[in-house]
Amino acid sequence: MKAMRRYRRYKRKEETLPEKKKEMIKIRRRNLCIGFVICGIFLVLSFILFQPLSFLQGKDITESAETQSRSSMTAISRNSKSSSKIESEENSFGSGSLLKNVFPDIESLDLPSSIAEESSSKTEKEPVYVKETQKEILDFYEENAKDRETVSSQGTAEIPTPPPSKEQSQTEKRVWLSDVPFISQVGRYPTGCESVSAVMACQYAGLSIDVDTFIRSYLPRGSFTYENGKMIGWHPNTCFMGDPFTQYGFGCYAPCIEKAILKFLPAGYTLRNTTGTSLTSLCHEYIDKGIPVVVWATMYMNPPTQGRQWILQENGSLFQWIGREHCLVLTGYDSWYYYFNDPLSGRVKYAKSLVETRFAQLGKQSLVIYASDSGETSSQESSQEPESSLPPEESSSEASNVSSEESSESSVDTSTEENESSNPEQSTVSKEEKDI
């Protein structure tokens, strides 16, 4: 009733208006109606034109979902074979641990495993490295190189921890294998951290091998192919993707390095893929016995990123690379830090909590190699400790020449021995170490 009254009042007012205003009102109404009609026509045409495009997108989404489901079934079947009761979260290595820690939005990803577990699923086609020249492939490498350059400019992401007091430093346990040889990857091996770290561990175990020989003669390597708008490559478990001597390389995981070492490992030496073992257990089982450990983490312990994707040659599934992946050698520990021979920055230390996080995000991958009788020997507890992490600018200049760095280290060792001899408490420790 109220609406009817308002409408009548409006009509009465409109009748009293002059003719010019009535014409203006009619024109406005007509323009409004024309606008509504045009909008309706535009919506109908857009629906008709964009319907085929949405159909194609839906088809692509369906295909990608099927691919992800196939890869997840592969991961589930692989983990079901080697699954056992999990005693603690620290010693567990579930199929989804890497994804939950790094990329929760990715549903499936093949995780590193020992080559012994993958012997039943070997493919007939073996990877062969051929230098890539296709523009799409080179651009693919460049994107990965940009991420590496970004994290190198940021430097270390070490979490500050309180230094030990004098009383604590006298009683705390510090184990450091200071005589593990250091080899820099800067300059000569821009993307070869895995090979450099493996050679450091091999040389310490007593094997005569250099990085160039390791890469050229033993490291499995593969190349990308670009077909029908898709990048196709191998799994990092199978081979190293790219060229470790240049920026055009990604990296590899523990099973690939395991394959390379087994090709030249002589009798009397033991190689173990300890993937899934916690850092605490690795220190007690190997570092305390004088055996360094090759571990996978990230560059300068910075957070990992969602890297590039490619289709796997092995099974056609989609693979997600973990950006900023890095390999280094664990050489010691104390109450606050883990010590490393880092191919990027030298002999460094990182806070324990930070290292454990990055180590878990890369799937807790690790390898050890030692002479068969070295497992029973005890390690030396060094009174020295490695210097804190160097920024990338200093590390690149100092680590480019390995021989000059070793000579400088020897001079530092002699100076520290002189300082220790001046202190009677420290001189007794140095004498015991020399006797050992």
Q: How confident is the model at residue 53 (pLDDT cuts 50, 70, 90)?
A: low
Do residues 330 and 337 touch, judged by C-beta distance below 8 A? no
pLDDT reported for residue 343? 95
- Describe the chain by its helix, strand, coil percentages, rounded to 5: 50, 15, 35
Is the model's pLDDT at 107 over the cut of 70?
no
Take residue 261 and report the two structure tokens written for it.
């070492």
Mapped to the 3 state alphabet, what secondary structure does 192-260 carry? CHHHHHHHHHHHHHCCCCCHHHHHHHHCCEECCEEECCEEEECCCCCCEEECCCCCCECCCCHHHHHHH
Percent of the chain at pLDDT exceeding 70: 63
Looking at every residue in the chain, the average pLDDT score rounds to 73
Provide the whole-model pTM: 0.60
Q: How far apart are CA 423 and CA 436, in angstroms?
A: 20
Question: Residue written as tokens 């045009």?
Answer: 38
Q: Which residue did the predictor score with more confidence, 103 or 275?
A: 275
Instruction: Residue 325: count other Cβ atoms within 10 Å of its Cβ.
Output: 26
Take residue 34 and report the two structure tokens written for it.
């024309």
Q: How far apart are CA 148 and CA 141, in angstroms?
A: 11
pLDDT digits (tens, 9 = 90+) for 1-22: 777 787 777 777 777 777 777 7
- Tell me how far apart the 2 most distant CA atoms of the chain are, in Å: 118
Q: How far apart are CA 380 and CA 384, in angstroms?
A: 11
Do residues 115 and 271 touch, judged by C-beta distance below 8 A? no
pLDDT reported for residue 152? 62
pLDDT digits (tens, 9 = 90+) for 252-299: 999 999 999 999 999 999 999 999 999 999 999 999 999 999 999 999
For strands 346-351 and 337-342, give the pairing: antiparallel
Fold classification of 113-119+126-158+171-406 (topology level): Cathepsin B; Chain A (3.90.70)
Residues in the chain: 436
Question: Residue written as tokens 């010590």?
Answer: 339
Do residues 346 and 399 touch, judged by C-beta distance below 8 A? yes
Q: Residue ranges per domain, the chain?
A: 113-119+126-158+171-406
